[in-house]
Amino acid sequence: MNIISIILLLWSITSAASAPIAKPSCQENCGGVAIPYPFGIGTSKDCYLDEWFRIDCRHTNSTTSANYSRQVPFLKSVDLELLSISHLDHGVGSGTQSVKVKSPVTFFSCEGKETRQPPNLTGSPFIYSQRDNIFIAVGCDLIASMRSDHGPVASCGSICQNNTDGDNGNCFDSNGCCQGNLQTSIEFPHFSIDEIPSNVSTSDAKGDCKYAFLVDYYWFKNNLTKDMDSVPVVLDWMLNVDKYREIFSEGFREKSDPNRNQSTPFCTSNISDWTTRYNPKALICTCPSGTDGNPYLLQPCEGLGSGVGLLLLLIGAWLVHKIVKKRKIIARKKMFFKRNGGLLLEQQLSSGKVNVDKIKLFNSKELDKSTNNFSIDRILGQGGQGTVYKGMLADGIIVAVKKSKMVDTSMLSEFINEVVILSQINHRNVVQIMGCCLETEVPLLVYEFIPNGTLSQYIQEQIEEFPLTWDIRLQIATEIAGALSYLHSASSFPIYHRDIKSANILLDEKYRAKIADFGTSRSISIDQTHLTTCVHGTFGYLDPEYFQSSQFTEKSDVYSFGVVLVELLTGQKPISAVTCSQEEEYRSLATYFITSMQEDRLFNVVDARVLEEGSETEIQVVANLARRCLNLNGRNRPTMREVTSELEAVQMSRKPPISAEQNSEGVDFVEDDSVGHWDVESLTEVSDSY
């Protein structure tokens, strides 16, 4: 709800509270229509002035559901549905007050339609308003008129062209419809329609359905009347001073009367233009200037200042509530910032060892908007560390927003670690982080958006749009090996990824590989040979030596890469279910691959496309490299730098060699002739206490 709506609501509350409109213990509205005295609801004569002003509150079934009943007010004296009663001060100056009711449409020669003339209001306090109503007739080739007991009041004519049926619902500039202004107000309108002679007409629409009606001009401008049996009509109403003066005699005190309170309503006998014929002695009551209320109750009118004062008080209370709420939100964001590791991040940034320009702190509102409030249809993927959503920032940049799982204090260093490590990496085969948000209940990371999914999808699902040729597999393997070599040998603080797997390798718009998800990564000092931590990783990729000792080394990443290399060779999953002796067991791809090589069955497990496109020598070289990476003794595994060199050699041996030009599959590749550049000299070590 915006502030304008709230102010209007408060104003209605203050108005309702300060200015009663009905007599005590009488119902003030029916079906959402306010009923001020002298009108009144029900059978109690104390609630309305006389039978002319009695309102029946009836229950009718909804047009959309027979089981739904709604209240509808009816002006009982003329049996017309009541739509509204104008503000009682409406008549100040003009001597008129009005109600809006539903009046029947009068049909002529319309099958299934009854010809009903509007009600006769003669002798009542009501009269059809000249000021607010307009006469309308619909149909082709007609002359329509509206008369009263005193003669013609309005008329119009319509001629159709090209057999237009004329039922356009709105007369303004439309064919087959005409309108006429009322010459005077009227008590009993009577409609008639005559057809234009054939020698005048240009259409053959003789005998067609035609209809006429009196209607509220302002309503008719914006609404169609086609297929409607009734339309809104405005009735002016006024009291005869001879009949009602005694009842309202208290209001006829002179303004100078010392016994008269300045907020007391006063009544006068005005003569207005429209009443001279029907009601020459009209009584009207009003509130003094600067006050508001129902003068016909003859109770002191409320000063407008008191209502405004209460309104201002309520607005002030609302503003205070908004300020308090905003402060609570700010305090809550500060609490989340601290809980999500904000102080730890600030400590890292203030150390001078981290490139501050590479870490942007996003606000929660910006990321909520970018992801459509983290809509489920924006999810790109889910993992052990959290859920990743696709988002678009205000400047149109597409990003991936990682919403971490609920964290506790033991996981803060893990999250901040990913922010710090990724912000300092500058390598084309590593996903770049753009910033983070710590003021939400769970921390958020913002990455560059990588559009073509994960490597595991292409290996396991065999996506036809981009088949994994032997050349492409070698290219991806070389790119990932180069990125890991860069991380392991970067500056004085090498980085261990600790969760290398095909699901953490993304492919960009040119299908270049990028390493992602550094949530469990660690940086170590140059003189360290390993990290002692709780075991993290994914089964099927987990280094058995690390699993047993809890000591993670750079060779543990080499082992995980070896599994990815075997995936590229075989197209199989790292862990798969097999049936043995009618029981289902799980098989490790790494173990199965090494056994197959030992039994000289390598080419039985290699993917068919690899066998078709690669030479036996190339396949054997890559397989032997993978076997060395999977050695159970970490010391016997090659370094990632050695792995990169051997893969590059295999690429170079192929004819034609892979270059920056398009390969046979039409995809651009760029030779990885460098491993990128580190932007700072060092990274601070992060606690492993979790």
- Of the residues 141, 499, 517, 557, only one is catalytic, namely 499
**For 162, left (φ over 0), alpha (ψ -120 to 50), or beta?**
left
Contact residues for 314 (Cβ-Cβ < 8 A; gap 6+): 10, 13, 14
Alpha-helix runs per DSSP H in 462-615: 470-489, 544-549, 554-570, 589-598, 602-605, 608-613
| CA distance linking residue 645 with residue 121, whole number of Å | 103
The yes-or-no answer on residue 499 being catalytic is: yes
Helix (H) or strand (E) holding 591: helix 589-598
Angle CA(678)–CA(679)–CA(683) in degrees, nearest 5?
A: 80
Tokens representing 127 are 């009269």
Length of the chain: 690
Separation of alpha carbons 631 and 590, rounded Å: 10
Largest CA distance in the chain: 122
User: Is the distance from CB of 525 to CB of 531 less than 8 angstroms?
Assistant: no
**167: its two tokens:** 């039922």
3-state secondary structure (DSSP) of residue 612: helix
As a whole number of angstroms, the distance between CA 423 and CA 430 comes to 11
Count of CB atoms situated within 10 Å of the CB of 491 = 15
Q: What is the DSSP letter of 38?
A: T
Burial class (CB in 10 A: 0-12, 13-18, 19+), 255: exposed
Round to whole Å and give the CA distance between 141 and 202.
8
The C-alpha torsion from 611 through 615 and 618 to 623, rounded to 10°, is 30
* Residues annotated catalytic, as ranges: 499
